[in-house]
Structure 1
Amino acid sequence: MSILQINAGTCSQCGICAAVCPIGLIEFREKGYPEGGASMESRCFRCGHCVAACPSASLIHRDIPAEQCPPIEKELQITAAQGEQFLKSRRSIRVYRDKAVPRDVINHLIEIARYAPTGGNGQEVEWMVFDNQETLRQIEKLGLDWMRWTVEQRRSTVFNMAEMKKAQEKSMKELLRGAPTLVIAHAARNIRIASVDCVIALTYLELAAKSQGLGSCWAGLVDAMTSSFPPMQELLSLPPGQKAHGSVMLGYPNYHYTRIPQRNTPRIIWHGGFRK
């Protein structure tokens, strides 16, 4: 079966499929119907744009069956005002309830996050989830060891590590803030834009978490420790050739917010001449 087939009985020859193909692999030839170019088999990166955009469901992609692409439900579309408030009201949560996050909920968040864009539709982001409380306490203990090691070695970091160390010695909660779950995104070291892919996927995950009543916070200290501290790397035990590119804590927030704090005015340089 060829990679692309067209139902000529329903195709309106509108050309949308060709217009949305990111690398221009769909062509119109003598019969006036779209066809896959000669290089489509090797160059198509299976993004699904052509299948998703066809208004008459006339395009059949061998590797992207239409029946596996659920229709977009118009009644679920949010308004601009709803989207704006949802994004502006997202907060970094650092105080969590003493309540575990069910694994099926975490799995659902990761299922949503897999729809995050990736370079060339590579979809190479992989996940590691820590929800065992003993392991999380071990990570906090390693965090204190790492802080002491960093101070002793006088290693340069963006953190005031001496103060961090004092706080960790007192609370043993500086890294994870008592969150019941830690999610790490990783990918193969040889993927050039793996760090970008992982960060975007984690952003999707934390926004999805908000929609499910969960709170989240980027675990920057965990990232710094993972990149520089061998004992933490040993605990992670990532598969060979993999590198962690970001981590997020998850849990049920102990407090809820009722206002949206202001942020700095954007600094924008416009190119394109004067326009009102």
Structure 2
Amino acid sequence: MAATLARTESPSATRTAISINDVSVRFGEGRTELTALSGVSLDIPEGGFVTMLGPSGCGKSTLLRAIADLVQISDGNIAVLGRTPREAREARDFAFVFQDATLLPWRNTLDNVRLPIEVGKHAGADYEDPLKLLKMVGLEGRENALPHELSGGMRQRVAIARALVTRPRILLMDEPFGALDEITRDNLNQELLRIWQETGTTIVFVTHSIPEAAFLGQHVLMLKAHPGRVKEFMKVELPAERTLTMRDTVDFIKVTAHLRAMLEECL
């Protein structure tokens, strides 16, 4: 990836991007009420990369959607860069990348990346150059390709470029690589780390993969289920520069072993 994006500002370890305070989320009423999250509290540092792990049904996606103002909070509060989730959404402080790339099939790669510019024009808004983003995610020369002409990994790169076009300060990602083969997933893990380092964007990333969580995250949030609660918010004690060969080291295996043991306790 030859292209780079300058950090909009230097992240500070003392600044908080997302503050989650005693948050609970319930669905339904009466006898059918289901508590998806209960008493969740943590602070995510600005410029950080947090991965989220936990058993199925622990509320990982629910918490991500609560941050994004896609799920209503029952109790507690969430602050996103000092705003409510709704205010942050309206200010386009964050972007969301889903497991499915959700590209419009009749629009080419460049026009799919341009879509947020067209549908969400804000007075004085500052957008990133879509061509520059496509170069950064390794899709230079595929600007005119339609989604059906791209591999699954390429479509996810388009989705990431589209998310970054509004220059969000936070990127929320819900298992974006979960449906991809292992080699493609590994390559996109490396590219996502480069994008994070180049842009300074805060990233919150949901995954079911223990190695992926350890490889990407500066911190791992482990949730336990029924209802979803914080088991541990763990700092990943690995070098800042991550390479795929690191996964064969003793230090990496120790981190994944600890995460696996925690995950078993959360079932």
Q: TM-score, normalised by structure 1?
A: 0.24
Bigger share in strand:
2
Highest CA radius of gyration, 1 or 2?
Answer: 1
* Structure of higher RCO (CA pairs closer than 8 Å, 6+ residues apart): 2
Q: TM-score, normalised by structure 2?
A: 0.24
